[in-house]
Structure 1
Amino acid sequence: MDYRDTVLLPRTSFPMRAELPKREPLLLERWRRERLYEQILEARSSGPRFILHDGPPFANGDAHLGHALNKTLKDLVLKSRNMMGFFAPYVPGWDCHGLPIEAKVMADLPPEGRDPVRVRQRCAAYALHYIAVQREQFERLGIFGDWQRPYRTMDPPYEAEVLLVFADLVEKGLVVEGLRPVFWSTGCRTALAEAEVEYHPRTDPAIEVAFPLLPESCRERGLPEDTVLLIWTTTPWTLPANLAVAVHPGLPYALYAVGGRHILVAEGRAEVLPGFREAPAVRRFALGEQLCGLRYRHPLLPRTGSVYAADFVTGESGTGLVHIAPGHGMEDYLLGQEHGLPPLSPVDDDGRFTEECGIPELVGLTVWEGNPRIIARLRAEGLLWSEHAYVHDYPHCWRSKTPILFRSVRQWFIRVEAFQAEALRRIDEVEWIPNRARNRIRSAVESRRDWCISRQRSWGIPLPVFYREDGSAVLNPGAIRKLARVVARSGTDLWYMTDDASLARLLDLPAGLRKGTDTLDVWIDSGCSHAAVLAPRGEFPADLYLEGSDQHRGWFQSSLLLSVARTGKAPYRTVLTNGFVLDLDGRKLSKMSGARGLSDFVAQYGADILRLWVASQDYRDDVPFSQEILARISDAYRLLRNAFRILLANLHDFDASLSRVDEADFPELDRYMADRLRSLVRTVLDAYRRYDFPTVYHALTRFCSTELSAFYIDVLKDRLYCDPADGAARRASQTLLYRMAESLFRLAAPLIPFTAEEAWQSLGKTRSVHLELFPEEEAAKNDPAFSDRWARLLELRSRVNEALESSRRAKEIGKSLEAEVEIQTPHFVPSDAGLLAEVFLVSRVRIFPSEATEIRVRRASGRQCARCWKFSEEVGQTDPAHPALCPRCAAVVRAQGQPVRTS
């Protein structure tokens, strides 16, 4: 007889083959059509508010894997918070102004077509294009948000808010004009912010140079008249701007007789300097401050300088004496200000020497071309002590990739020191994740000097300054606020489209003024987003900022400084940091030319695979990425999908409204698994609350693979397939499987939103899983004794499996149902035999009380049932019509009342 049609085999329309690149766009279109995001906000409108403020990506290219990491992390946070019951909207943003876009547009415009208005129009069109591109790519990742109403830093209302913030800073006296060193990009001909600087290895000539002391200075200090100061520099081109030499006030120095002359250097450096190893110390100075006031002759020019003390001088490199060019370094500048030295900077916007350098042969050369000329002249003068190649990390422009010059230029600055202490206090009130990020932001703010905020560009918010005929500036907070009101309607193009006189009249300023041509640093733009986006919506400060670790120097810092300067408060309560996406060689994928973009991977694997990769990674450090890693994630995804499919397939004949069984009536196995489910829910929800997505990923995959598929479903097969359809034990199991499906699909929804939605609908649900709340957290229903019992049972199961495998290798049995197991144990009694046989997947278990545990496997007695395949001595004993069936199966077949095929 053939009993296959009597077995209740699983069935489902939920396919094992995911075909995510094909299925996901269909669900995405449905979500858009049904306005799912708006439905979520409406459903959560009465819940507590949770505000994650989006740090705006730059609108200048396709999205890459770095974007995928950051945007998916934000979506994991928001989806999980919404499913916890929070009202957690997402307003995406884009950073639109700035050098990268302008540089691209300028490269495509002829010189005669580069007037500011035309450049700005082209830049705006460029930004709008890539906003549309990135928006589609981010939405394709399954990221929910207000995509039709994002914030854009080039929108007139946003620009107006930036100007209002700037007016407040001006009114507080925090904005000043000054001639001081800034990061200068010769490639882009503009000043740069610190966050726009990258460091790359560079080889420069390092030289030691003799600065001869003036004879009268030697006589005053009792030094030989041939005494020289030996300085060390890796920027020989700055020597024409030298105005002083610095020593450390607390370091010991000494005078050495070397090569027929007397040389002053730090005592601790003498043994590593060329030619000094055997040189005797003629005289020692216990403290460097004893050298202050010495005067020297410039090695290249007819001028003199003095020695000053400075704590930034180190005894760990060079000679312990630093040549000071106040126009070419911030520490040099500050020392020069202390002693009345001007910020001499004889270099133009292109990095070429001007006549002010005082050396005719250098005029018109770039500073890099000037290096060998200066070294040759020092050698000819007999003042070059040594020269060698020096490899060091040197600052480069992030856009042109050209090496940066420290150059004094008249610029506008925010006086950070005026509110620096307050900013540091606010840092300590913020939660930083990971905790080490607190030290990074503190270090960045502590070392911050005045913030250079002027840029010599056209594409940006104009720096609203006017100039009188004598060059003095007019920066009027009232006029800036009037400008903001007009900009809110018309945008900042009006600054460039309106002539000076008309603009001055519009702002109630005196006649005869000339408007400035600089724009504001783009970090002002994005740093004001708390004022332009959060405050108008009543969402200041935000609950969370989440960006890459480079933003401690960028958006985290600019937002903090502007917020503290204006309001005295930090703009965020918590800051969460993610690392960079790196290939297996440690290279940053977002910066690699030729690297595949986000869309390529989504088209190949689907969004849910990429999202699962994000969730699986310890994102607080740098995140590795490769095709091999994505292949492993694909395996994990298939494991989850298979578990979802198994749950759905075994619920094909279960009606949750009619067939539920109360947990109090569950068999013991199901009561144990119900507790395991409760434990999973607690673990996952706790991890979501802590933004610990790898724990969510591992908990779900481990439960699905180990506890559900490899254990519970495996044990349940006999009950699900062979018990009566409405049998109490079978319905109890299905009740729990249904509860598991409801819980797992909801818990996984933030990670794999498309697959969770598909599975949820296959469960017979009519509204989106993303409108649901997470399962409620419950404590374990059973006591510690119950947990201990199951721990012993599972340990015993492991030992039984080992014994079964030994018997299988010995050819004593084939499948485990061919076995019966005798167990001597102190932990179980004969009445447990049925439960143990079910859990061990054997036909029979016999239990004998004993002080020690011993296991014996033998071939099961009796005959094998033709339907359930268990061995029993009762096969054929109860129903002559079904001589090949055990009593349970014979009863089920009779109750089904269907004909049985003859084989």
Structure 2
Amino acid sequence: MSAMCGLLLHGARSCTSSRRCHGTGSGEVNGQPAENGSGNALYRDSVLLPKTEFPMKLTGQKLLDRELQIQQECGFADLYSWQRERKAKNKFCLHDGPPYANGDPHVGHALNKILKDIRNRFEMLRGRQVHYIPGWDCHGLPIELKALGDLGTSGLSPLQIRQKAREFAEGAIARQKAAFQRWGVMADWDQCYYTFDGTYEAAQLKVFQEMHSKGLIYQDYKPVFWSPSSGTALAEAELEYNPEHVSRAVYATFPLVTLPPKIASQKVNVSVLVWTTQPWTIPANQAVCYMPNAQYSVVKRADNSEKFLVATERTASILFLHLFPLLGSLLEGGICKHPTIPDKQVPLLPANHVTMVKGTGLVHTAPAHGMEDYSVASQFKLPVECMVDEDGTFNELAGPELQKLSVMTEGNDKGIKTWKRGKNTGCNALLKEEQCVHSYPYDWRTKQPVVIRPSKQWFINTESLKDKAKEALQKVRVLPESARSSLLTMLDRRTYWCISRQRSWGVLIPVFYHKESGEALINKYTVSHIAQLFKEKGSDCWWELPIETLLPPEVLKKVKAGAASDYVRGEDVLDIWFDSGASWAAVLEAESDSRADVYVEGKDQIGGWFQSSLLTSVAVRNKAPYKSLVVHGFAVSEKGEKMSKSVGNVVDPDVVINGGKPAYGADVLRWWVAESNVFSDVQIGPSALIYLLATFISPHQGVFKVTDAYSEFDAGRVIRVLQAFITRELSSFYFSIIKDRLYCDAEDSLGRRSCQTVLEEILDGVTRSIAPILPHMAEEVYLHAPGHDKEETLFKSGWIKSSSVWRRPGLEEAVEGACAIRDSFLSSIPGKNAARYDLTVAIEPGLLFELMESLQEEPTSTTSQLAELMMAARVNLATKMPRDLDPEALLNHGTFLINLEGGVIREESAYSIAVTPTSAARCPRCRRYTANSADCLCPRCQSIVSQAH
């Protein structure tokens, strides 16, 4: 038991007025139902049974109406503004990651928004001024596609496309915002941020301009992830990897025309054997790479005389006969004949990215269609020739037979058939074909495979930011800590970030191109001017205004350029991850620290918003935009499956609240979030919600030490602490022992009023403790609870107010000792009614005896706090067992370790107990076995009844 036991038993003050307890009583006295016998009926009106106007259960429409009524009565809509205006020493900033404005609210939104709101409400109750500005990510291809529907972009101007996309996004925002408000999320809903707002776009361009001025943003022609289905470049964060993708893998032969010395001395004709899962890239081959320190072998086919060069480690998987080995470094200088292009030769080159996991240990290298391949090309000055157009088809460089064919389907098929026949080269270029199931990148929006192809794009040099970002991340607290390694891994994987997109709906990259030279015009003067225009007019002005306004003479003079008519405006927009990643500049810069205390998002943002925010902030300010990161899981079905409309396992939060059978209301949805382990995937479904409803706690409960749990985003621990306290300390213990005092003592007695005070404190503490999770229920309880002004609301009245007055030296130890004795007593009479027994407690003189004396001053008592704790008819307290002890008495023994003043005083004391059936009769009023005869009131009740008359 904690020190709170002292509060439960004594109370340190009494109520200022006598009043009946607000409780859940059901007409019981001392655990036994009140009877209607004539004797009991005489005293029924003198028993103070609990009464309350609080509705014990509301269901269906009544529940929904009551929640909305509470939101109105308790000022949910004004709470955020109220707390922002009050004076507060400390502030708490939770920066809202913008949800995507492309659809209706779903349970993923509920998990995220409610988790944030629980923490915000807790911090507000603690007296902190909460900064929380909800936002929406409004640009991007999914919104554009949904807005246009079957119309497509054909015949529509960029401004027409943008108008339709804006209207669609605004509709989605309105629906999502209404849902978030219904869930009880506290915010100033009139002051949200939107990435399509001109002020936001201007702040974003300021970040862009500062990064460009530092040389971190540049234009280049190099391979990027390209989505033929979307017609745009993609960043790593916009990819989904399909682990079940099936490719037609081939072994291709590259005949050696210039042999390395070691092979030349053997006087053999050898072909280099490579393996690739992307045969369509073979025409773009510029080299074959090897691992310098690996062992290679010249091998011979078992069925003919063909000889090949492969890694020794990989020969077992290909089943060749070994001829002789050589070290990879000896392959330097070798030159191969291109397998599909006559008269073309390609070199053997060393490379660090070659592995022995699959294939032959020799890597086909097409710089136009691979990131690592491009690095090799940069190092050895190889050409980068792109044979694939933006629609994913071969272009004229691939030859007339392949031109206009899709590289992933019919073009790949046609190429494999052609190369197998040896057409163009006069030999069989492909030795073997097999199916390969592997992970492959898909466009996360269209769910179609992407290709890697070179394109002239705008990039951020993340390689130069990586070390600074890692250093900044070391100062950030991450929950759970295991997510930190994923964050670091994602940073390591990203050497550059492609930030340009070939779409209409987005923030325009403020660049102009010279009509003749194609040279880009972009600097701090042009970008600053465009940012100011965007702030005043929004980014639509990029198309609406004449170029002379976008490039006025005063700007052209500063940059020493020609006339505005010499330039055309660029048409690429910024990656939406740059949009949202710059939100710190638009939302947090006004704050004194300009950093958020915490960012809270799902695990998909490890490579998304968390990273883009970190990179942009480190680039501009040399610090992370957040002090802490909280990474939560996804909402999944009850079977742990990803939710899908086609599967039919989607849970709509609106149906959970309003349209289910039953309708659960918002607090059950919030309870689901709080009760879940949010650091893993969170399951939800009908049976889970029914379980939650069944275990939904009543308002009359208690709590301690929940502050740390809320601070750790562990609302589940709050619930577990509450439930344990309610089950053990209250329901099984305190409520049982106080019923007699509460119901049967005189109405204005000090003991009863003290008990009411304790109950009031418990109710208040529990209500405040659960309030961040269940704000509707907490406010309703507060409306019915005594002790405050009628117009006051719980959330405006602060957190739990603890007081040292409740602590009395030695009281905690006294109660703990008494509870140890109580356990021994109850274990002596298993299944029996303790009220029918007398208890004798024998303790040798010492500290434990003194502690028990503080609970019972008299040697024998039926009304002491010790007797109340034991729930016995009578308790006798002595230093030794009496000589005339009933020989039928049940004996038990035990010890209790007293620990006072932090361990300074430690004493183990023994005690003995004797249990005998009481000889007293049951009192017809209080039902305790403390009366002299069955038709006579006990002394306590006799005094109370006589005073009443």
TM-score by length of 2: 0.84
* 1:292 aligned to which of 324, 327, 332: 332
Q: How far apart in 2 are the matches of 1:818 and 1:570?
A: 68
How far apart are residue 721 of structure 1 and its match?
0.5
Q: How far apart in 1 are the matches of 2:497 and 2:336?
A: 34
CA deviations on 1:811-837 (whole Å, 9 max, x unpaired) are: xxxx54344456677766755874454
What SS class does the counterpart of residue 50 from structure 1 fall into? strand
CA deviations on 1:290-348 (whole Å, 9 max, x unpaired) are: 21321111111121111111111111222111111111111111111111112222111
Q: How far apart in 2 are the matches of 1:17 and 1:119?
A: 52
Matched with 1:122 is 164
Contact 2:337 2:346 in 1 (8 A): yes
How far apart are residue 538 of structure 1 and its match?
3.9
How far apart are residue 803 of structure 1 and its match?
4.0
CA-atom RMSD, angstroms?
Answer: 2.5
Matched, 1:842 2:872: yes
Matches within 5 A, 1:517-596: 517-589=571-643, 594=648, 595-596=650-651
Q: How far apart in 2 are the matches of 1:327 and 1:496?
A: 33
How far apart are residue 778 of structure 1 and its match?
5.6
What SS class does the counterpart of residue 35 from structure 1 fall into? helix
- Change over 3 Å in CA distance of 1:365–1:80 after alignment to 2: closer
* 2:488 aligned to which of 426, 442, 448: 442
Letter in 1 for 2:286: L
What SS class does the counterpart of residue 184 from structure 1 fall into? strand
Matched with 2:311 is 266
Matched, 1:889 2:907: no
Matched with 2:926 is 868
Matched with 1:771 is 796
Matched with 1:602 is 657
Matches within 5 A, 1:119-158: 119-158=161-200
Q: How far apart in 1 are the matches of 2:471 and 2:802?
A: 38
What SS class does the counterpart of residue 589 from structure 2 fall into? helix
Letter in 2 for 1:725: E
What SS class does the counterpart of residue 615 from structure 2 fall into? helix
Matched with 1:617 is 676
Q: How far apart in 2 are the matches of 1:310 and 1:166?
A: 35
Q: How far apart in 1 are the matches of 2:805 and 2:233?
A: 62
TM-score by length of 1: 0.88
- Change over 3 Å in CA distance of 1:110–1:254 after alignment to 2: closer
Matched with 1:165 is 207
Q: How far apart in 2 are the matches of 1:776 and 1:873?
A: 42
Q: How far apart in 2 are the matches of 1:870 and 1:731?
A: 21
- Change over 3 Å in CA distance of 1:185–1:112 after alignment to 2: closer
Q: Give unpaired runs (5+ residues) of structure 2.
A: 1-38, 423-427, 853-858, 882-891, 895-911
- Change over 3 Å in CA distance of 1:856–1:370 after alignment to 2: farther
Letter in 2 for 1:794: C
How far apart are residue 115 of structure 1 and its match?
1.5
Matched, 1:694 2:716: yes
Matched, 1:209 2:252: yes
* Further displaced range: 785-794 or 87-96: 785-794
Q: How far apart in 2 are the matches of 1:754 and 1:855?
A: 49
What SS class does the counterpart of residue 410 from structure 2 fall into? helix
Q: How far apart in 2 are the matches of 1:32 and 1:480?
A: 44
Matched with 1:467 is 513
Q: How far apart in 2 are the matches of 1:690 and 1:485?
A: 41
Matched with 1:668 is none
Matched with 2:691 is 632
Matched with 2:12 is none
CA deviations on 1:355-388 (whole Å, 9 max, x unpaired) are: 1113624543343222222222333233333322
Matched with 1:817 is 835
What SS class does the counterpart of residue 251 from structure 2 fall into? strand
Q: How far apart in 2 are the matches of 1:104 and 1:358?
A: 37
How far apart are residue 536 of structure 1 and its match?
3.2
CA deviations on 1:730-769 (whole Å, 9 max, x unpaired) are: 1111111111122211121111111111111111333111
CA deviations on 1:663-716 (whole Å, 9 max, x unpaired) are: xxxxxxxxxxxxxx7xx53x2122223333222121122212221222111111
Tell me the number of residue pairs that the alignment of Structure 1 and Structure 2 aligns. 841
How far apart are residue 112 of structure 1 and its match?
4.5
Matches within 5 A, 1:186-205: 186-200=228-242, 201-205=244-248
Matches within 5 A, 1:216-365: 221-259=264-302, 260-273=305-318, 275-276=319-320, 279-280=321-322, 282-286=323-327, 288-302=328-342, 303-358=344-399, 360-361=401-402, 363-365=404-406
CA deviations on 1:244-264 (whole Å, 9 max, x unpaired) are: 111122221111122322211
Q: How far apart in 2 are the matches of 1:146 and 1:425?
A: 35
Q: How far apart in 1 are the matches of 2:439 and 2:638?
A: 23
Q: How far apart in 1 are the matches of 2:232 and 2:76?
A: 47
Q: How far apart in 2 are the matches of 1:730 and 1:224?
A: 108
Percent identical among aligned pairs is 36
Matches within 5 A, 1:495-506: 495-500=542-547, 503-505=550-552
* 1:738 aligned to which of 742, 750, 760: 760
* 1:55 aligned to which of 92, 97, 115: 97
Contact 1:636 1:701 in 2 (8 A): no
Matches within 5 A, 1:386-401: 386-401=432-447
Q: How far apart in 2 are the matches of 1:872 and 1:247?
A: 96
- Change over 3 Å in CA distance of 1:528–1:364 after alignment to 2: same
* Further displaced range: 517-526 or 103-112: 103-112
How far apart are residue 636 of structure 1 and its match?
3.0
Q: Higher helix share goes to which structure?
A: 1
* Further displaced range: 128-137 or 602-611: 602-611
Matched, 1:184 2:226: yes
Q: Give unpaired runs (5+ residues) of structure 1.
A: 645-676, 809-814, 877-882, 898-903
CA deviations on 1:421-467 (whole Å, 9 max, x unpaired) are: 22221111222222222222222112212110110100001111111
Matches within 5 A, 1:27-46: 27-32=70-75, 35-43=78-86, 45-46=87-88
How far apart are residue 856 of structure 1 and its match?
6.4
- Change over 3 Å in CA distance of 1:359–1:340 after alignment to 2: farther
- Change over 3 Å in CA distance of 1:428–1:760 after alignment to 2: same
- Change over 3 Å in CA distance of 1:437–1:216 after alignment to 2: closer
Matched with 2:27 is none
Contact 1:204 1:389 in 2 (8 A): yes
Contact 1:6 1:893 in 2 (8 A): yes
Letter in 2 for 1:370: G
CA deviations on 1:762-792 (whole Å, 9 max, x unpaired) are: 1133311111221245679658965454334
How far apart are residue 634 of structure 1 and its match?
1.9
What SS class does the counterpart of residue 130 from structure 1 fall into? helix
* Further displaced range: 751-760 or 409-418: 409-418
Q: How far apart in 1 are the matches of 2:161 and 2:593?
A: 35
Contact 1:198 1:395 in 2 (8 A): yes
Contact 1:232 1:318 in 2 (8 A): yes
Contact 1:96 1:154 in 2 (8 A): yes
* 1:719 aligned to which of 734, 741, 754: 741
How far apart are residue 527 of structure 1 and its match?
0.8
How far apart are residue 628 of structure 1 and its match?
2.5
Matched with 1:650 is none
Matches within 5 A, 1:445-460: 445-460=491-506
How far apart are residue 610 of structure 1 and its match?
1.7
